[in-house]
């Protein structure tokens, strides 16, 4: 089933290639949505894919940045189907 994950990561996640790595992982897995830096040194991701694919996407991000991520907050929702690809927002 298609799902949407809205995720906030905090820690030392700015300036470590987080957004571009997330985009690359998303491209490999076929995840759609976006990633952006937000105030307070956090990163926000809105991603859509099959639930199993999203879980893999989030696990890979967590593994890749385990040293930098201090906390994450994930909200699961039904997919809206509004994305064509995965982009880095500025």
DSSP character at residue 29: H
Q: Write down all domains in the chain, each with its CATH number in brackets.
A: 2-84 (3.30.70.100)
Is 90 exceeded by the pLDDT of residue 21? Answer: yes
For this structure, is 19 an active site residue? yes
pLDDT tens digits for range 63-78 = 999 999 999 999 999 9
Residue of 19, 23, 42, 63 with catalytic role: 19
Annotation says 37 is catalytic: yes
- What is the Cα–Cα distance from 33 to 88, expressed in whole angstroms? 9
User: Which candidate in 37, 42, 60, 63 is catalytic?
Assistant: 37
Residues present in the chain in total: 90
The pTM for the full model equals: 0.95
């Amino acid at each position: 089933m298609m799902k949407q994950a809205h995720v906030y990561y905090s820690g030392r996640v700015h300036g470590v290639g987080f957004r571009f790595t997330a985009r690359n992982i998303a491209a490999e897995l076929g995840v759609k949505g976006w990633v952006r830096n937000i105030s307070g040194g956090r990163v926000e991701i809105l991603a859509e894919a099959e639930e199993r694919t999203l879980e893999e996407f989030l696990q890979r991000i967590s593994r890749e940045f385990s040293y930098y991520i201090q906390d994450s907050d994930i909200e699961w929702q039904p997919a809206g189907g509004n994305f064509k690809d995965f982009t880095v927002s500025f």
